[in-house]
Amino acid sequence: MPDCIFCRIIKGEIKSDIIFRDDRAVAFPDVYPKAPVHILIVPIEHIPSVAELDEAKAAICAHMVTVANRLAREQGISESGYRLVTNRGPDAGQAVLHLHMHLIGGKEMGDIA
């Protein structure tokens, strides 16, 4: 998608501090962090949201969780705890229409329910 900011970051058209990259996903800091650690994990393939995942594409979520777990260990938050969040649609706060997972930690966040 030529106008998708995450696709442009993945292609290197927009500079970002890439923390992780492989053939399926990239990870970089959120520009509006909600905690000391706030990293976005984004699939290389443009998928608008979690709602577009089917059996054939579901494996990308498992890979994104694996990447999040690795990054949580590297960032030193795996023992104290972290949150993994994906949003779907404007009411949930999805600002970029490209599937992404937020890895958030480094402070006590409390209950959100």
Domain extents in the chain: 5-105
Instruction: Please give the pLDDT value at position 2.
Output: 72
Rounded CA gap, 13 and 83, in Å?
29
The answer to whether the predicted template modeling score (pTM) of the entire model surpasses 0.75 is: yes
Sheet of 101-105: strands edge to edge? 20-21, 25-29, 37-43, 101-105, 82-85
Instruction: Please give the pLDDT value at position 112.
Output: 65
Instruction: Please give the pLDDT value at position 96.
Output: 94
Of the listed 38, 98, 100, 102, which one is catalytic?
100
Q: pLDDT tens-digit profile of 19-48?
A: 999 999 999 999 999 999 999 999 999 999
Instruction: Using DSSP, state whether 25 is helix, strand or coil.
Output: strand
Low-confidence spans in the chain with pLDDT less than 70: 1, 112-113
Q: For residue 100, indicate whether it is catalytic.
A: yes
Burial class (CB in 10 A: 0-12, 13-18, 19+), 75: middle
Instruction: Please give the pLDDT value at position 105.
Output: 96
Instruction: Give 40's strand partners.
Output: 28, 102
Answer CATH for 5-105 from 3.30.420.40, 3.40.50.1970, 3.30.428.10, 1.10.10.10: 3.30.428.10
Nearest to 102 by CA among 60, 75, 64, 49: 64
Contact 48, 99 (CB under 8 A): yes
